[in-house]
Amino acid sequence: MLRRLPLPIPPATGETVKSYLQRLATVHDVIYEEMWHWVSAPINGNAKQRIIIGERLAAATGRPLDRLAEALPELDPDTNWLHLRDTPQPACPRCTARHPGGTVMRLFPLLAYACHRHHYWLGPPDVGESPALRHLSDFPDLLSAQRRHGRLVRLYGPMTVFDALVHAFKICAVLWKNGPEETYGHSRWWLWDQRLDQLIPKTDSVGAFSHSLCYAAIYPEAVTIAGLLAHPVWRVKAACPLGDPDTDHRWEFTCEFGRRLGLEDYYPEDPKHPAHLWADHHAPQPCMTPATFPEHRVGSIDGVSPGPPVRALRKHHQAARYFAKKRYAANTLIYHQHPGAPVIETYYPQSGPYARQRMRLAAEQRTTPGPG
């Protein structure tokens, strides 16, 4: 029989079950694995695989299950996983200051990049021993970008805007990498370089390196471009082929693209320009589906504390070392897979195995007779 835990510790909004159990265990001085065994049951009689039983957690904490489910997405049968990130990440420290027992790990909605109330940079989630916690007091444009981002989501829906923003990040990263000739010498990258140097100081390129902060350097402009890519009318215009003799739609699209970055009369002719690549390959396609937490979670509710993510950490350190050499954040972002997004090879300077795989799959699809 499960006994009631003496201290009333509420869960934090969006918290993972594991984070909540770890905090409960810390505060009550109980071993986490024991706590997990109390509130879980084997799946299909397999002793090694266990699943959380909401009623047991309710009994242990003395909190009604429906109240727990309001905070813990994993206990809520109505959670729309497609609207949440696929990786738990540290919550804003001020939002969760009243929750004892350690750092709250939570699942944020796809659109959460900064905490409005306390002005901390939140996401996308990072790998690394100590995820970057950056206060944005010197970055009002990042905070206003988060507000614009929220408006886009209310207008077009979370998944459309997620798709648009992930592509906008890649497009901005390629512009940043290509430099002045892409943008007639008026590009924003001086601003991106400046922000990057503020976010990741040159004096500590390796230690302070963070993919998340590289994204922060271009976030405001990426949101601006995402507004264009998510717009249904501009999607249709962009899908018209480059050099179409019947319409000027593609040029109208690039002109609007440039205007949003402060570039007048922007008509890039290189078909490999990232805006053209997006228009050719993604504008006519349905939006991509984000990866969800249940399909990506590893050892987070099975009662086994996962060890350090060795492979991910090794890649993180490798990226930090490359970054420290010349501080090419643009390169870092082109090759980084945004959490929750499928691999997008469209903007790579050279196509790799994924592109070949995609071509093979497309060829297979063509040879398979369709319905009817």
Residues found near Zn ion in the complex (CB under 5 A):
92, 94-95, 115, 117-118
* CA separation for the pair 235, 195 (Å, rounded): 30
Rank residues 92 and 223 by Cβ distance to Zn ion and give the closer one: 92
272 φ/ψ angles, rounded to the nearest 5 degrees: -95, 5
Rank residues 43 and 133 by Cβ distance to Zn ion and give the closer one: 133
* CA separation for the pair 294, 326 (Å, rounded): 38
Other beta carbons within 10 angstroms of residue 234's beta carbon come to 19
Rank residues 93 and 201 by Cβ distance to Zn ion and give the closer one: 93
Structure tokens that stand for 224 in this block: 């601006």
C-beta of 126: minimal distance to Zn ion in Å? 17
Rank residues 75 and 104 by Cβ distance to Zn ion and give the closer one: 104
| Residue 66: closest CA among 80, 55, 53 | 55
| Residue 118: closest CA among 133, 100, 101 | 133
CB within 8 Å of 261: residues ≥ 6 apart:
175, 183, 187, 188, 221, 224, 225
C-beta of 18: minimal distance to Zn ion in Å? 21
C-beta of 94: minimal distance to Zn ion in Å? 5
| Residue 338: closest CA among 172, 93, 95, 204 | 172
C-beta of 117: minimal distance to Zn ion in Å? 5
Rank residues 92 and 263 by Cβ distance to Zn ion and give the closer one: 92
* CA separation for the pair 217, 208 (Å, rounded): 14
* CA separation for the pair 133, 152 (Å, rounded): 25
Q: With beta carbons less than 8 A apart as the criterion, state whether 24 and 274 touch.
A: no
Q: With beta carbons less than 8 A apart as the criterion, state whether 108 and 123 touch.
A: yes
C-beta of 63: minimal distance to Zn ion in Å? 23
C-beta of 98: minimal distance to Zn ion in Å? 12
Rank residues 120 and 323 by Cβ distance to Zn ion and give the closer one: 120
C-beta of 110: minimal distance to Zn ion in Å? 18
* Residue least distant from Zn ion (Cβ): 92
C-beta of 72: minimal distance to Zn ion in Å? 19
Rank residues 114 and 230 by Cβ distance to Zn ion and give the closer one: 114
Rank residues 92 and 225 by Cβ distance to Zn ion and give the closer one: 92
Q: For the purposes of burial, counting CB atoms within 10 Å of the CB of 312, is it exposed (0-12), middle (13-18) or buried (19 or more)?
A: exposed
Rank residues 139 and 176 by Cβ distance to Zn ion and give the closer one: 139
Long-range contacts formed by 58-64: CB under 8 A, 24+ apart: 59/2, 59/4, 60/2, 60/3, 60/4, 60/5, 60/24, 61/4, 61/5, 61/8, 61/9, 61/24, 62/4, 62/5, 62/8, 63/10, 63/11
C-beta of 114: minimal distance to Zn ion in Å? 9
DSSP state of 41: E
* CA separation for the pair 310, 91 (Å, rounded): 23
